[in-house]
Amino acid sequence: MKRAKRLEIVGKLIHDKERECALRVVATQTRLADAERRDQELRRYLREYQQLFERRARGGMGVAGVRDYQAFITRLGEAVRQQDGVIQQLKAECERARAQWRHAAARKSGIGKVLAHAHSEARQLEERQVQKELDDRAQRVGGTR
């Protein structure tokens, strides 16, 4: 198998790897965006619940009601903290995915240059062979006269 053909196989593999990395970046960014939306929803819900508690507390409420509101607000606060942790993990995962994609893209670019050079060399070799054949024919035709 010629060098250019072997490199084409490698080029396809590297192209597929780069595409896979790019898709991973998109998927991770989508998960991050979803997590950030969820975080915003949780924070909005927490604020609303705190405001509702304050209004009801000013209007007077029983000890059990106060305890229930505070327990629920505490659970919402914990959910917000956990969601913040998820977001930090996804941000780190996004950065790793981007770095892998950049590395794969650089490899793809490099192999593309090597492949282009190999194709150029193959064309030049073929042109030299064709020229040699033409010269040999011309010499044979010129020598038989």
pLDDT, one tens digit per residue, over 31-85 is 999 999 999 999 999 999 999 999 988 888 888 988 999 999 999 999 999 999 9
Tell me the domains of the chain and their CATH numbers. Answer: 3-143 (1.10.287.1700)
> What does the buried/exposed string (b/e) look like for 67-83 if buried means 16 or more CB atoms within 10 Å of the residue's CB?
eebeeeeeebeebbeeb
**What's the predicted TM-score (pTM) here?**
0.72
